[in-house]
Amino acid sequence: MKYLVIILIIALNTSCNSQTTHKFNLDFETYNSNKKLSDGWFKWGSYELGIDTIANSRKFAGKISSDENGSSFGSIAYKIPANYEGKYIQLEGYMKIQDVENGFAGLLLRIDGNSTSLAFDNMKNQNINGTKDWEKYSINLPYPEGAENIFVAGILVGKGKAWFDDFVLTIDGKNIQTLKETNKPVFKANLDKEFDTDSKIVFPELNKELITNLELLGRVWGFLKYHHPKVAKGNYNWDFELFRILPEYLEADNVVERDQILIKWIDKYGKIAECKKCKETSSDAFLKPDLSWINSSNLDSELKKKLNKIYHNRHQGKHFYIGMMPHIGNPKFLNENSYSNMPFPDDGYRLLSVYRYWNMINYFFPYKHLMDKDWN
């Protein structure tokens, strides 16, 4: 009797552990026969997807079957919120293929953030085709900052059939089924959706004066983007702040009015606190920003003073819009939304594209001095 009780306790503990550690249905076993796919799995592509009893270990596996032509692709995918921290991510899984030709089969791992793919691999380069029994495969990728969603999948390109089973996802070697989720910061900039589908900007007829004013606005906008502490902290969607200032700015009748609009715009974001820990740019730094336009131009003296104060108390450290590639130091542009739903053409978004690109080159391209023409 004593041993029977012990066995029952062990069995109950095992059952409880299996329930609490199986957050994600990566083995396809949670399946309702009334549905086409196992719980949580969905379809990418045009090929036929299903659940099959030809499995690697237990009852079920995911299956992809091409059409007769085999001219497209199919993918059985699963989405996991990227509420985790780490440096490396690995997907392991088992795959079986039959008569795969004119393409390949593989596991797929994709990490998305800010409406774009931050890291991706679908094993295309391994060129897995033909007929093979169950084998274990893996994908390893750096786990990117700004990750919002993780997609694990099996993919078939070309003709044939492929089965997938027993996926295991780990971050820094720890199984995601038991890995503790983190509370990621919510940036105000990401909550601003006002102009997602339309900038609402229409330009008047361009003339020399307006072009000069727009050039200045591009310089000021980019300067504030990379230096203003509150922009750097992700408090503002800086793309949309451009669209908010433009209607008034385009109506400026003269230089004095133009500069006052810029002064009022800067004041909108509050006072600049003195930065007691800010480091001076090294005297032997090879690449320095050219900010001579601030003091050498005919800007209002108060505007010059405000811009210089921001520079001397500029944000230093982790930045919402710019980072550095690990071990390399190359710039890594962050949170640059693609706005795939914007109308085309759109005057505001066209100007935004120019401003973005110009300032990326101005502040971060290291070879401007080697160009035989004025890059500007």
Q: Look at 14-28, 192-206, 296-310 and tell me which has the smallest mean pLDDT.
A: 14-28
Report the C-alpha gap between 224 and 222 in whole angstroms: 5
pLDDT value at 160 more than 50: yes
Task: Examine the pLDDT at 19 and tell me if it is beyond 60.
Answer: no
pLDDT in tens, 297-347: 789 999 999 999 999 999 988 899 998 876 677 888 888 988 888 888 899
3-state secondary structure the chain: CHHHHHHHHHHHHHHHHHHHCCCCCCCCCCCCCCCCCCCCEEEEECCEEEEECCCCCCCCEEEEECCCCCCCEEEEEEEEECCCCCCEEEEEEEEEEEEEEEEEEEEEEEEEECCEEEEEECCHHHCCCEEEEEEEEEEEEECCCCCCEEEEEEEEEEEEEEEEEEEEEEECCEECCCCCCCCCCCCHHHHCCCCCCCCCCCCCCCCHHHHHHHHHHHHHHHHHHHHCHHHHCCCCCHHHHHHHHHHHHHCCCCHHHHHHHHHHHHHCCCCCCCCCCCCCCCCCCCCCCCCHHHHHCCCCHHHHHHHHHHHHCCCCCCCCCEEECCCCCCEEECCCCCCCCCCCCCHHHHHHHHHHHHHHHHHHCCCHHHCCCCCC
**CA angle 297–300–305, rounded 5-degree value:** 90
Which tens digits make up the pLDDT trace of 52-72? 999 999 999 999 999 999 999
DSSP state of 330: -
Q: Beta strand pairing status for 73-81 and 149-171?
A: antiparallel
Over residues 209-237, the mean pLDDT reads 97
pTM summary value? 0.69
Within the chain, all domains assigned CATH 2.60.120.260 are found at 24-175
Phi first, then psi: give them for residue 81, nearest 5 degrees: -60, 135
Return the pLDDT at 21: 60
CATH superfamily of 24-175: Galactose-binding domain-like (2.60.120.260)
